[in-house]
Structures are given as C-alpha cells and as structure tokens.
Structure 1
Amino acid sequence: MDVSPLVWWLTIAAIIGLLLFDFVFHVRRAHVPSLREATIWSAAYVGAALLFGVGVWIFGGQDPGTEYFAGYITEKALSVDNLFVFLVIMSSFKVPRANQQKALLFGIVFSLLARTGFILLGAALINAFAWAFYLFGLILLITAGNLLKPESEESHDSDNLMVRLARRLFSATEVYDGDRLFTVQDGKRVMTPMVLVMIAIGGTDIMFALDSIPAIFGLTQNLYIVFTATAFSLLGLRQLYFLLDDLLDRLIYLAIGLAAILGFIGVKLILHALHENNVPFINDGRPVPVTEISTGLSLSVIVGVLVITVIASLTSAKGRAQNAVSAARRHAQAYLEVEHDPELREELFRKLCHEEEQLKKLPEKYRRRIREEEKLMALLHKVHEEHDRR
C-alpha cells in the first residue's frame, strides 16, 4: 500500500489535533473523570481507530486492512498491560486522583514520540539487514517467556526501578501544588513530585516499546500501518485508565494471553525470516522452504486469545478474590491519606467496608491466604482504629 506525503502529513496533523483537543478540553482543568465521561471518550477513540481501519481496508485493500486491525488490537492489549505499571507509579508518588490526567497524557505523548523513533529504527534495520527479523522474533520469544514467569515483587512494587531512578536523580518537594510542575517554596522555585511522576512514566514507556515495536513489525512491515496502529492504540489510553481502574487487577490471566500472542508473533517472524533468509550460516544463505502464517490467521489467533483471556479472568474465583483485595488495599491507603475532607473519608470507608464484606464471601482457601497477608491485615486494622478514633 503506497501512501502519499500528503496523507502522511494529514494523518500526523490529525493525531496532534486529537492530543491537543484532549489537553484543552479535558486535562487542562484538573478533575476526576466520571465513569460516564471515561466510557464515552474511550468508546469515541476506539470508534475512531476502527473507522480508520475501515478506511485502510476500503482504500488500501483487504491485506493492509487486516494488518492494521491485527496490529491495533495487539498494541492495544499491550497498552492495557502497561496500565498496571502506571497504576503502581501513581500509587508510589501518591498522585491526587484529580491530577493524574496530566501525567497520563504526558506519558502518552512521550510514548508516541519514543515509539516513532523505534519504528523508524526498526524499519531501517529491516531494510538494511535481513537478520533483523530473527532478532525481533527472538526478542518476542524472550519477552513471552518472561511474562510466563511468576510475578516478582519488583514488577508490582511501588518502589520499582524507574521510580527509584527518578527519586535519586531529581530532587523535588514532597508537596503537590495542583498539577503544576513547579512551585515556590521558601522563596525558591522547586519541582513538584509531578515532574518525578512524568519522568518515571516516560522512562517506563521506553521499556514498553522494546516489545511492542517488534510485535507490530511481526504483523506488517508497512511503515504507515505500523505508525497509525501504534498511535491509535495510545490515543484514548488516559480515558481507558480511569474506565478500567477497578478492573485491571481482575485481568489475572492477561500476562498469559499476551505471552501467547507475543510467542505466536515471534514464531511468525522467525518463519518469515527463514522464508526470506540470506544469512550465510543458515541453509548456505538461501531461503528455507517453510510455511508462513497469514495475517488473517494472525488476526484470528490474537482476537481469540484475548477473548478467552478476558472471559477466564472475569469469571474465575481467583480473579474476584484478587480484585476485592486490590480494591480494599487502595481504599484503605486512600482513607489514611485524606485529612481535610470528611465526606470523602466516609465514602472511602463505606467502600472499604463493602470490599471487606466481599472478602468474607470468598471460598475459605482465598480467605485463608488473605489472612496470611500481614501487611494487608495491618493496614485494614489501622483504618478501623483510625475511623473509631475520629
């Protein structure tokens, strides 16, 4: 599919326009998006991405259209997985709920710029070196294997690598001044913690790109499709964060599903590399007669794996238990952090009590595991003591 320079510039202008619209009409005024607002705008961005894909299908043909949808769905699934880490960073820096939107939008813009750079680098590697397909395939297989490993404390620790680096390299005040990046303290202009949050999110985005870009190149090598599928998967991620906040921890099998998808794409890349082989020490530099995986089959596998993953996560007892524990922990921590808003404090306590009732309804084996979590039990006990004292 050939794309003219005019179409490229119009596409880039449209994406920049959507980001500016998001900032001016939603992010500039700090507020907590309602469920209705998050749902409407999430649906709007997904709808725009799907309409764009239909346009690619109509004007570019069936194969480019299928490649776009396969790439978009894969990148969207990976971006949802990234929201887990965003949630950890927000919790670590205790970012007020109303101020999280600016940090998220910065993360999206930074991620788009970083991934554009990786896309150009990946395209240059593919055009110059045939072995780049082997490299990308190997990266995806290694990433898939890492996703299947039991989660380490580091992966969900509120003091992870990027957070520690941000705190060590940059000094900032401990007090937020709305969503401002700088404030005046003792007559001096100093950074607020919001700067550290943005640095942590931006640095994490770079690591995310190391698996997302090889994944999209495993589905298509058309630069326009790679760029647009990646861009549309990131647009609307801010709204999706607030929409899925309470559901993120329920997607307990998402890592397994993503591992299956990345492993599948990794195999597809290596098969394609063998089919186009010119590496001297493999088959004497001649192409290897192997069966390649079609883009249509790739799209079917990706959609099927994600559907099974989401259904299994939402219907499992383990998912319900993990969601209830995570919600109780968040409400308890938020309750202890609120000092000057009695109404919000009471609302959080009511939610916490509701979550505790849900925990009591779980099967005994899950209740036993929860009772063995000393930090969680101590946190809940502290909240009840604080509520009784007040």
Structure 2
Amino acid sequence: MSSVGTPLLWSLFGVFVLVAIAIDFFALNRQGAHKVSMREALVWSLIWIAASAAFATWLWWQLSSSPDAAIRAVADTKLFEFITGYLVEKALAVDNVFVFLMVFTYFSVPAEFQKRVLMIGILGAIVLRAAMILIGAWMIARFHWILYLFGAFLVFTGIKMWWAAGQEPDLDSNPALNWLRRHMPVAPDYDGERLVTTVNGARVATPLALVVLLIGIVDVVFAVDSIPAIFAITTDPFIVLTSNVFAILGLRALYFLFAGMHERFHLLSYGLAIVLLFIGAKMLLIDVYKIPVAVSLAVTAAILAVSMLLSLWIPPSERPRSAYPFSRKRSTDSPSE
C-alpha cells in the first residue's frame, strides 16, 4: 500500500506525540487532582487544534518541497485528506464525549478525578488504534473487497446511530459492565485517584478502576466505527494514523469543553449519523466514482455545522432523565487501610 510516510516522517511524528504526552502528563501531575474549568478546557482545546494545524502545515511543506515530483504532486491532496480525517475523527469523538459523561454520571465520579481517568484512556486509545489501523491497512492492501465491507458497516452504523439518537443509554443492561461487576471485587467508595485499595485486608479495585476499564471498552466500540470511516477518506496508513492520533490527543480537553454544554448540541448525533452514511456510501462507490477529498471535507463540515446550528435554534424535546439507582456515592474519603 502506497504511503507518503518515510522513516523520517514516522520518526518525527512519534517524537512529537511522545513529547506532547509527556507535557500533558507533566501538567497533570503538577496541577494534581482538580476540577477542570471551562476556560482551562478551552485553552487546551485550542492548543491541541493549533498543534494539529502546525503538524498539517509542516507535513504539506515537507511533501511540497520533496525532490520527488510524484510526492510534490500529491502534497495538496494529502493535506486535504489529513484535515478531512481529523475533522471526521474529531466529530465522532464528540459522541465519545457524551458516553464518557454518561459513565462518569452513572458512577458519580468526582470532577477532580475525571482528568486522570481520561488521560489513561487516551494512552490506551492511541496504542489500540495504532494496532487496529496497521491491521486494517494490511487487510485493505491484501483484500480490496474489505472496503465494501467497511462501507456497508458504516451505512449500518449510520442508520443505527440515527435510530438511537435522543434515546437515553442504559448502562444497567450493558453486558461489559455486568461482566466486570461479576469478575472484579470492587471497593464501596473511591480512594482518591487510586485504582487499587485495601478493604478488610484484601486488595480490591476501586470504582475508579471500573470506570477506567469501561472507558477503554467504550473506545474499542467507537474505534470499530471510526477506523473504517477514516479509511473511506484515505488508505494511506501515515495519514490515517496521524489524523486519528491528533484527534484523540485533544479528546480530554474536548470532553471538559462539551461536558457542560452537551444538551445544547442535542441534534449532533443526527449529523454524525448522516456523515457516516455519506462516508459509507463514498466507500461503496469507490470503484464507480471517487468523490474528491475536497468535496468530502466540505460536505462533512457542512453537515456538522448545520446540525450544531439547528441544535441551538431548535430546543430539545423534554424527556424524563433515567435514574441511576446503582450510582456510587460521591466520596473522596479513603477506605481504612
């Protein structure tokens, strides 16, 4: 499978990601457990967007100044592919945000602990998606018909997302959560930011560990949707991975930015469903008509913008909020050691 990713580009990208994560961890440890304000979330979101824009600009410059004429010719196309992939992954990440909010609400996770949970989840997501993307690229290179399977899956997912939009998820019937509850001894209360504590002389997981595992499972589910979506835009493994990782790096800041305003964008799930239908149709038609990348970018941006504007214009319908009878009591007191 052809790719613009040279050993130098792969190495520099890896170094950039490691430095970004190290800076994020340093800031996290220095600040300690605290509730993230809207201002802090906005600043970090802008930082991650600026970092992504800087990387896209640097990549375009590297390709456009290459001594290879064939690489120079695709510089603009690869830039559009990166931007479109980043936008799609960022949009799908917003749906992750709403599920994360539901999980944190269900378990009554104190606001000051949520930041570390999401940081651990992001690290796991980067490793997991890198593996899934490389496997997906290998499969597409070996079996072209996989693209049709991905396309049909995206169309199915889009229809399912449209049907489920506006419905209150039910964690009590979630099989993954029920399995974890049956196989993991869990402490009755939180013990700060610890994932393991001691109760009555026995080492048990804290509710925070259960939340971390559930967040990881949620990301696996969303990765199954998002990775085929990015392959519909480009099959270049370098562009697929870089756009995906940059979208994930800003996920934590995006969560805190949208957590307080998720009700305002109640129609966004419908917009995401339409985006998935469009991308799925594009993949199914890939051997009949290849939709230009610039058109894909314009359509995706327009659908998301319209859904968000309509959310602000049309008030959400009143629906009863489901209770969380098994929510954990919010407590930061440590169990007796």
- For this structure pair, what is the TM-score category when the shorter chain's length is used for normalisation? 0.7 to 0.9
Consecutive unaligned residues of structure 2, counting only runs of 5 or more, are: 64-74, 333-337
Q: Which has the larger radius of gyration?
A: 1
* Aligned with residue 8 of structure 1, among 7, 10, 13: 10
Q: Are 1:70 and 2:70 an aligned pair?
A: no
Counterpart for residue 49 of structure 1: 52
3-state SS of the aligned residue for 2:217? Answer: helix
Asked whether 1:207 is paired with 2:221, we answer yes
Cα distance in structure 2, aligned partners of 1:184 and 1:199: 19
Distance 2:121 2:56 in 1: 24
Partner SS, residue 193 of structure 2: coil
Q: How many residues align?
A: 317
2:220 is the alignment partner of 1:217: no
Larger RCO (alpha carbons 8 Å, 6+ apart): 2
Moved runs in structure 1, 4+ residues, more than 6 A?
Answer: none
The correspondence of residues 96-115 of structure 1 with structure 2, limited to 5 A, is 96-115=110-129
* Contact 1:162 1:204 (C-alpha < 8 Å) held by counterparts: no
- Matched with 2:101 is 87
The answer for the alignment partner of 1:156 in structure 2 is 169
- Aligned-residue RMSD, C-alpha: 2.5
Partner of 2:314 in structure 1? 316
**1:112/1:231 contact within 8 Å kept:** yes
TM-score by length of 1: 0.76
| 2:275 corresponds to | 261
% identity of equivalent residues: 37
1:291 aligns with 2:293: no
SS at match of 2:234: coil
Offset of 1:151 from its aligned partner? 4.6
Is the 2:41–2:257 contact (alpha carbons within 8 Å) kept by the matching residues of 1?
yes
2:22 to 20, 28, 39: 20
SS in 1 for 2:185: coil
- What is the rounded CA distance, in whole Å, between the counterparts of 2:49 and 2:247 in structure 1? 8
Which letter does structure 2 place at the counterpart of 1:57? W
Q: Deviation of residue 150 (structure 1)?
A: 3.9
| Matches for 1:139-288 after TM superposition, within 5 Å | 139-151=153-165, 156-159=169-172, 160-272=174-286, 275=287
After superposition, the Cα gap between the structure-2 partners of 1:339 and 1:220, relative to the gap in structure 1 and judged at 3 Å, is closer
Q: Is the 8 A contact 2:187 2:206 kept in 1?
A: yes
Structure with bigger helix share is 1
Return the match for 1:303 from 301, 304, 307. 301
1:111-150 equivalence runs, <5 A: 111-150=125-164
The 8 Å contact of residues 176 and 214 in structure 2, kept in 1 or not, is answered as yes
- CA shift in 2, pair 1:242/1:110, >3 Å: same
* Aligned residues of 1:126 and 1:132 also touching (Cα < 8 A): yes
Match of 2:67 in 1: none
Cα deviation digits, residues 155-205 of structure 1 (max 9, x gap): 622423332222222111011111111122223332211111111111111
1:301 and 1:184, CA in 2 relative to 1: closer, same or farther beyond 3 A?
same
In 2, Cα distance between equivalents of 1:2 and 1:98: 42
- The change in CA–CA distance for 1:249 and 1:235 in structure 2 (over 3 A counts) is same
